[in-house]
Amino acid sequence: MSELLSIALFLASVVIYAWKAGRNRWWFAATLTVLGLFVVLNITLYASDYFTGDGINDAVLYTLTNSLTGAGISKYILPGAGLIVALVLIFGALGWILRRRHLPHHFGYSLVALLLALASVDASPAFHQLSELVKSQSREGDPDFAAYYKEPSKTIPNPKLNLVYIYGESLERTYFDNAAFPDLAPELNKQKDDSIDFSHTTQLPGTDYTIAGMVASQCGIPLFAPFEGNASASVSSFFPQNICLGDILKNSGYENYFVQGANLRFAGKDVFLKSHGFDHLYGAEELKTVVDDPNYRNDWGFYDDTVLDETWKKFEELSRAGKRFSLFALTVDTHHPDGFISRTCQRKRYDINGKANQSFSAVSCSQEHIAALIDKIKTSPYFKNTVIVVSSDHLAMKNTAWDQLSKQDRSNLFFVIRGDQPQQEVVGIKRSTMDNGATVLDILGGDNFIGLGRSSLSGQSLSEVFLNMKEKVLAWKPDIIRLWNFPKEMKDFTVDVDKGMIAFSGTHFRLPLLLRISDSRVEPLPESEYSAPLRYQLADFAPRDNFVWIDRCYKMGQLWASEMALSTDWCVSQGQLGGEQKVQHVDKAQWKGKTAFKDTVIDMTRYKGNVDTLKIVDDNIRYKADSFIFNVAGAPEEVKQFSGISRPELWGRWSNAQLGDDVKIEYNAPLPEKFDLVITAKAFGPNANKPIPVRVGDSEQLLTLSNTLTTTTLHFENPSRSNLLQIVPPDPQSTNEGNILGHSPRKLGIGMVEIKVVKTEG
């Protein structure tokens, strides 16, 4: 109803302004802005619902404010492009309609149209969902949280069993209903029938996406992160105050392993696992050096057959060695929108209503591999000392099976196979995924509670205690957010050079980092693969915003400390863009600093100059030096432009044939008639020991490099006074070597540290 009302108000605003309001630049801009906001909100709602099936929720907030490295985005490119095109067309059409009639301006109709536009935004479901997310961050919480949140013992008294825990991506229990979906999952259904099967595992807010499902199942709490928490993209710990299953296992002598086909950094899984007892992590980057076929991949990473084969190998290896271990695995082939079919499964097709359905086909395929792994473990001599757990990480999101799934009574998958005492039982008590970790801990001989989770074998789930557990969890949201122990102030801080971390107020963050600081709030702004460089983010600060910026010295030295403009050491800058700024060199392994913000008069000219300088594109930065130094951004003042060169790294820069077939450096003035070119460089891969043409005008010299850095001097005569230096790597190689995770491969030829032009006489 509210959706129809908001659309009606929107259309009424458009009609009244277009036909009665007349022309006025200010009223047109204000009305178009509010109507545009309505459009953006609803497109955001539509896009979010496309992924979640539940609109704009915590899953959307967390995913967009965390690392997107490794996300399998190719299937979303076309829908995303469609949304952008639609947005452009809608804004264009709105602008044309509103300005169509040439009438004198009418204040009353303009005001009515603007008020109707504001009312349409206020009535929209998207605005209500976003408002509720914002409000949920600032509520006081529920006073009974402390009574129900229980911290378990940090150890298991006498551990005897190893643990294999398999998360099936979106592999909810609904798929295993043979009446609804005949013969969809026969192999894993058979394994489930030989287990302790928990048939009523519900999904709660904050547990409905992969990392949230993992947190719920291991820590017994939903994943609610603070808005400032775009946090967990930079913070080095994840719910640092919580004792989770991995912590207890590690403290009890277990070696904890986690294996998945996707990139570990996506959504901060690596941070979570490392924070809670996992020392051995294998994802897309780690597996590519050990799998038989590193090119056999889907959009997210390695297929489930590859991942579960590696899981079996690790199980055998650790069992033979007599280790006490836990081995967690996460599949990916059943990921929405339609999943992936691996090449080794027996059934590659499942039909619904006479037509193949990719999501169901992926489920049928993936469950084969999970069942096969369980069979291998069961038939091994190590099974009697092993507990096998199979669970969905969350209910399926909006996929091509959605219409059929949504007709069913849906629940999550969770069953346990005990090698020490085989048991066939269906446990029908009402529970949630927060109870999974406590149930496993109970079986292993530990406590029967973790956080808000309770063992379903010897305890009572809070889902049974409270009539509406969903509302209760949302009431506890502020209490759960406080468990992040997120700092509200920053006075003293320490930069750890060796670890690349900054610590303050009991929290550690990765470097580089930008912080916006007020009297009651510290907002960390990390630099990640999908966020803007920190200097661009700083350029968006208001003139009086206090900032602390920890980064490589040259990035801030070019603004406020020219003596540091070529240094790749760490520096700390703080101040206000419209006031004073200072830059301090981090010259010790453990460097201690203090925040000191002066209440100075704001100079808007200085502010604009700082913002303009911060926004200069890297390749357009110019510094004072007598040579081209490649480990900093930009080029010396003598260089007009350059191409074919990748981004700066701490040692220098690679040539990159993706950006240009060869390296070209064009100088402002003609190069000398006679000069030496002194180049410190190395070759990449097969470019080593091959002649590399270096040209200036009509003159060409051959450069030969090894795979290690060397300095070579080439002698040039330049009678035509050319100002262009050209270097042609003979065999550029496509590789992800040294690349930013999630970025396209580069085509590397030579790695350059420094190039210097030295004029000669005679």
Query: Which residue did the predictor score with more confidence, 85 or 51?
Result: 85
pLDDT for the residue 244: 97
**Which value, to the nearest 10 degrees, does the dihedral of the CA atoms of residues 424, 429, 435, 436 take?**
20
Q: What is the pLDDT of residue 80?
A: 60
Q: What is the mean pLDDT of the chain?
A: 88
Q: What share of the chain is helix, strand, coil (3-state, %, to 5)?
A: 35, 25, 40
- Measured in degrees and rounded to the nearest 5, phi and psi for residue 679 equal -125, 125
Q: State mean pLDDT over 544-560.
A: 93
**What DSSP character marks residue 241?**
T
Q: Domains in the chain, please, with CATH? A: 2-138 (no CATH), 145-228+236-482 (3.40.720.10), 492-616 (no CATH), 622-759 (2.60.120.430)
Nearest to 676 by CA among 711, 708, 706: 711
Instruction: Please state whether the peptide bond connecting residue 512 to the residue before it is cis, i.e. omega within 30 degrees of 0.
Output: yes
Confidence of residue 666 (pLDDT cuts 50, 70, 90): very high
What distance in Å separates the CA atoms of residue 638 and residue 16, rounded to the nearest whole number?
Answer: 59
**Average pLDDT over every residue of 20-36:** 79
Q: How do residues 429-447 score in pLDDT, each as one tens digit?
A: 999 999 999 999 999 999 9
More confident residue, 341 or 522: 341
Confidence of residue 64 (pLDDT cuts 50, 70, 90): low
- 525-561 burial code (b ≥16 CB/10 A, e <16): bbbbeebebbbebbbebebebbbbbbbbbbbbbbbbb
Strand, helix or coil for residue 622: strand
For residues 474 and 209, the answer to whether their CB atoms sit within 8 Å is: no
Band of the pLDDT at 59, cuts 50, 70, 90? Answer: low
What pTM does this model have? 0.67
Per-residue pLDDT tens digits for 358-377: 999 999 999 999 999 999 99
Instruction: Check whether the bond before 730 is cis (ω within 30° of 0).
Output: no
Cβ-count burial 207-236 (b if 16+ within 10 Å, e if not): bbbbbbbbbbbbbbbbbbbbebbbbbbbbb
Residue 588 corresponds to which tokens in the numbers above? Answer: 């010790």
What pLDDT is recorded for position 606? Answer: 93
Which position has the higher pLDDT, 50 or 45? 45
> Residue 106: its pLDDT value, please?
75
87-144 pLDDT, tens digit each: 677 767 777 777 777 777 778 777 887 888 888 888 887 777 777 666 655 556 668 9
pLDDT at 42: 78
Distances (CA, A) of 135 to 57, 65, 141, 478, 586: 13, 18, 11, 10, 40
Q: How far apart are CA 670 and CA 13, in angstroms?
A: 62
**Tokens standing for residue 617:** 């594109």
Q: What is the pLDDT of residue 528?
A: 62
| DSSP result, 498-519 | TTTEEEETTEEEESSEEEEE-S
- In this prediction, what percent of the chain has a pLDDT beyond 70? 90
pLDDT digits (tens, 9 = 90+) for 166-188: 999 999 999 999 999 999 999 99
* CB 362 within 8 Å of CB 334: yes
Number of H helices, E strands in the chain: 22, 36
